Amino acid sequence: MLNQPLPPTATILNVKVHALTTKQTLALIEQFIASGQPHQLTTTNPEFVVDAQRDETFRHIINSAALSLPDGIGLLKAARFLDTTPLPERVAGSDLVGQLADLSHRHGYRIFFLGAQEGVAEQAIAKLRQRYPQLQVAGCYAGSPSLEENEALLQRILPTRPDILLVAYGHPKQDKWIARNLERLQIPVCIGVGGSFDFLAGTSKRAPRWLQQLHLEWLHRLVTQPWRWRRIWKAVPYFSWLVLRQKLNQK
């Protein structure tokens, strides 16, 4: 039984996002681990919401997740603009990996790192262990979310019996892979974490802290990774247009 009830959700363009803080998120994750039951978490950001408009399967996965985390300042602003349930703060997936490593360091939770390019997860783990020397790593593997490799992935993960599975295949592949395998995995906490391993390993650079505080990470990505302009277009101007259109339709 959960000691802390699940928070209410905001609905943005028919996608549910839980109204919770990082502190509440970590408390619920500990409760999920204590329960022993499998839970899927999504790190929902504006790009997720845009893609979910055309991908009904992806939208269902987000809306059915144990927690749909508000990973984007655009979601907080959209919730306020649409007069839905307020979202108190951003819960960034990139930061959450380090916070989960801290929980592992302090409580002995076992974490499996799945995804990213060959060798990246190992580099990320090495960086995390510099800060959290008692980090408990159940295993790591790059692998692929393809159906052809599905059984091989499961056979690598299942014997390690992790408490937390971090999947870094990018959305929606990571989220669909988790949803497809959640019942077989029986891992208490399964989270898609996108490019977090690359940030930790240093193979990709996050925006400077001051740009993060100004909510301009998208601008840093546009300058440093201009080939991602289509994704940035979806996450910023196109998402804003969809929210405005929904607001106008409410009147």
> How is residue 181 written in tokens?
């395998």
Tens-level pLDDT at each residue, the chain (251 residues): 457 788 999 999 999 999 999 999 999 999 999 999 999 999 999 999 999 999 999 999 999 999 999 999 999 999 999 999 999 999 999 899 999 999 999 999 999 999 999 999 999 999 999 999 999 999 999 988 899 999 999 999 999 999 999 999 999 999 999 999 999 999 999 999 999 999 899 876 665 665 566 455 655 565 556 656 466 656 678 999 999 999 998 76
Dihedral sign computed on CA atoms, order 62, 68, 72, 78: positive
Which helix (DSSP H) or strand (DSSP E) does residue 242 occupy? helix 239-250
pTM of the shown model: 0.90
Q: CB within 8 A of 218, min separation 6: which ones?
A: 232, 235, 236
For residue 176, the one-letter residue type is K
Q: Domain coordinates of the chain in residue numbers?
A: 9-201
Q: Which fold has domain 9-201?
A: Rossmann fold (3.40.50)
Task: Kindly give the pairing relationship between strand 40-44 and strand 67-70.
Answer: parallel
Q: What share of the chain is helix, strand, coil (3-state, %, to 5)?
A: 55, 15, 30
